[in-house]
């Protein structure tokens, strides 16, 4: 009986060691996942190619599974930000304002220098009779999607008080210029940068700028509040130490000062009450109470 116990002892020890080894493998946690969001205006493959090396670099430095997720316009991007599906966002100004103010995303890096600031333009065909913003009364206007600083928030702010016939939402800046070119709308709002890029694709048509907005703060890289604070610092350190060619492709500047979004967030907050008016026909660009009073006066005049 004693001999049998001595013979069984090594076998039991071996089984125990094997069990410990197997359980150790089963408890190995999979690498954390990071989702990087960006707006590509339908140029998904181009955007993904630009960010591929950045993705590989961040994955190696943070030991994470990194996924790039392009959105083809700001509306889709807002949904992902509101749901906090994007951990890191390369955010143009309108999205950055929403992410910072409403969803508590933290800015990490500026994507542009001060000299690269943008403005919103309202453009018409050169043969149009429209000369200024006042001439847009009772006309058709194309805006970008909700979330666009240059295509949505700035023009609405500057057009406050006007009554337009109808406002159309263009999914991309290129489509917006196509509508102006075709005469579907009398005017359209987009950024200076996008105007310079896409106007070349309508070489047979001349466009004229009738309004230029105030300066828009630079785009920023923001990170979700759902990312652990220590992990945020790890990501920030990795991004700040990335090689220059990688940061250039990704489009952020580690040494640039992060822009102050306080004033722009206030502007967006003032414009938000007008969003319900944008889809109405006619589109009375006044706050609810003011619009109701204006419509009441108009009806009395008609009667």
At 12-51, the pLDDT tens digits run: 444 444 444 444 445 556 678 999 999 886 655 555 788 9
Mean pLDDT within 258-282: 93
In the chain, CATH 3.40.190.10 sits at: 32-115+218-255, 118-216+265-286
The pLDDT value recorded for residue 30 is 67
pTM for this structure? 0.78
Pairing state between β 88-91 and 220-223: antiparallel
The string of pLDDT tens digits covering residues 67-98 is 999 988 888 899 999 999 999 999 999 999 99
The string of pLDDT tens digits covering residues 167-199 is 999 999 999 999 999 999 999 999 999 999 999
Phi, psi (deg, nearest 5) at residue 152: -135, -65
Share of the chain above pLDDT 90, in %: 71
In the chain the beta strands, taken as DSSP E runs, fall at 32-39, 64-71, 88-91, 106-110, 118-125, 140-143, 163-164, 166-169, 187-191, 207-216, 220-223, 283-284
The pLDDT value recorded for residue 29 is 62
CATH 1.10.1370.30 fits 32-115+218-255, yes or no: no
* Contact present, 235 and 62 (Cβ < 8 Å): yes
Q: Mean pLDDT in the chain?
A: 86
The CATH architecture that domain 118-216+265-286 belongs to is 3-Layer(aba) Sandwich (3.40)
Please give the torsion angle defined by the CA atoms of residues 168, 170, 174 and 175, in that order, rounded to the nearest 10 degrees: -70
Please give the torsion angle defined by the CA atoms of residues 286, 74, 217 and 140, in that order, rounded to the nearest 10 degrees: -40
**How far is 264 from 198, CA to CA, in rounded Å?**
26
The pLDDT value recorded for residue 9 is 47
**CB environment 104-124: b (16+ within 10 A), e (fewer):** ebbbbbbbbeeeebbbbbbbb
> Which long-range contacts (C-beta less than 8 Å, at least 24 apart) are formed by 49-57?
50/249, 50/250, 50/251, 51/90, 51/249, 51/250, 53/245, 53/246, 53/249, 54/242, 54/246, 54/247, 54/249, 54/250, 57/238, 57/242, 57/243, 57/246
The pLDDT value recorded for residue 47 is 57
* Contact present, 259 and 218 (Cβ < 8 Å): yes
The pLDDT value recorded for residue 131 is 97
Residue 213 or 292, more confident: 213
The string of pLDDT tens digits covering residues 113-148 is 644 568 999 999 999 999 999 999 999 999 998 889
């Amino acid at each position: 009986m004693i001999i049998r116990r001595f013979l069984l002892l090594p076998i039991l020890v071996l089984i125990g060691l094997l069990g410990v080894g197997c359980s150790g493998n089963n408890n190995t946690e999979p690498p954390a996942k990071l989702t990087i969001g960006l707006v590509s205006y339908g140029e998904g493959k181009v955007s993904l190619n630009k960010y591929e090396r950045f993705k590989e670099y961040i994955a190696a430095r943070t030991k994470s599974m990194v996924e790039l997720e392009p959105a083809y316009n700001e509306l889709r991007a807002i949904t992902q930000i509101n749901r906090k599906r994007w951990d890191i966002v390369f955010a143009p100004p309108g999205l950055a304002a929403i992410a910072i103010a409403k969803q508590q995303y933290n800015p990490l890096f500026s994507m542009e220098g001060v000299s690269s600031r943008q403005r919103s333009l309202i453009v018409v065909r050169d043969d149009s009779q429209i000369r200024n913003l006042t001439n847009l009364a009772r006309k058709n206007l194309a805006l970008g999607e909700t979330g666009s600083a240059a295509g949505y928030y700035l023009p609405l702010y500057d057009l406050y008080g006007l009554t337009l016939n109808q406002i159309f939402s263009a999914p991309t800046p290129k489509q917006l210029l196509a509508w102006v070119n075709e005469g579907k709308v009398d005017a359209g709002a987009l950024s200076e940068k996008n105007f310079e890029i896409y106007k070349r694709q309508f070489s047979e048509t001349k466009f004229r700028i009738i309004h230029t907005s105030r300066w828009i703060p630079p785009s920023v890289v923001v990170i979700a509040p759902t990312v652990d604070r220590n992990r945020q610092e790890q990501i920030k350190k990795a991004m700040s130490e990335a090689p220059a060619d990688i940061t250039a492709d990704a489009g952020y500047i580690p040494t640039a000062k992060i822009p102050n979004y306080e004033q722009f967030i206030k502007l967006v907050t003032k414009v938000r009450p007008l969003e319900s008016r944008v889809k109405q026909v006619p589109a009375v660009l006044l706050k609810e109470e003011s619009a109701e009073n204006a419509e009441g006066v108009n009806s009395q005049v008609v009667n």
